[in-house]
Homo-oligomer: A and B are copies of this chain.
Amino acid sequence: MPRNGNSSQDRVIDPTDTKSKILDAAEELFMEHGFEATSLRLITTAAGVNLAAVNYHFGSKEELFQAVLTRRLDPMNQDRMQLLSAYESASNGKPLTCEKILAAMFIPALKLARDHQQGGKNFLRLLGRAYADPAPFIREFLSSQYREMIARFRSAFSFALPHIPREELSWRLHFVMGALSYTLAGADMLKIISQIHPEEATNDELLLKRLAPFLAAGLRSPSPAEDGGHHLFQET
């Protein structure tokens, strides 16, 4: 009895085996109902497998959730870092533009959103929910999954924007991640905020072509320490 294991595919991935069927069904159902509200019975019924298969292959519901996240999140963040390295190698030691660094963040996310016709979009919504979940096992998992990639991109931005203090840059990177994840995950909020035509709202590439310039302008803006001392939050 393996009881878990095979954490980073020791064998080839077979989309018809029990583990993959569970992961596919869990991804869609976790996205739709959240972690706590999705029962293992719902997942195993949708996957066409026995209820006990989840505990046999993944150990527990929490470990299944982590497996669902890591299956796509880990490759996506690896892609981001590889793409960033490729851009840097091609620049001959010159700093990259903010747009270029943002492209290294966005393109792998876009690829994920497009690749698996429904799975990709489902996963990004699931990720958006996980960001807002305070459950310790989720937060610690996301932290470990993101730490390396975030450090890598902060260095790149620091090199591209040497006049921005490192701490200010950490904040701006936080804002970038917020707008990106919110935009990729919360398509439904668009219907609240605007009367944007639905057929356009589904075009993620166009969306990010609008988001990247928006964020690049914010990243390049003067550091608050050198803006002449505006007093924004003074009433009247």
Contact = CB atoms under 8 A, between A and B. Distances in A.
A132 B185 contact: yes
B32 A134 contact: yes
Contacts of A171: 194, 196, 207, 210-211, 214
Q: How many copies does the complex hold?
A: 2
A233 B214 contact: no
Nearest to A194: B170
A112 interface: no
Interface residues of A, number: 79
- If over half of A's interface residues share one DSSP class (helix, strand or loop), that class is named, otherwise mixed; here it is helix
A186 B192 contact: no
A143 B190 CA distance: 10
Contacts of A174: 183, 189-190, 193-194
A72 B34 CA distance: 24
A188 interface: yes
B128 A132 contact: yes
A185 B219 CA distance: 21
A205 to B, nearest CB: 7
Contact of A175 (B31, B211, B222): B211
Interface of A: 31-37, 90, 99-100, 102-103, 106-107, 110, 125, 128-129, 131-135, 139, 142-143, 146-147, 150, 154, 167-168, 170-175, 177-179, 181-183, 185-186, 188-196, 205, 207-222, 224, 227, 230, 232-233, 235-236
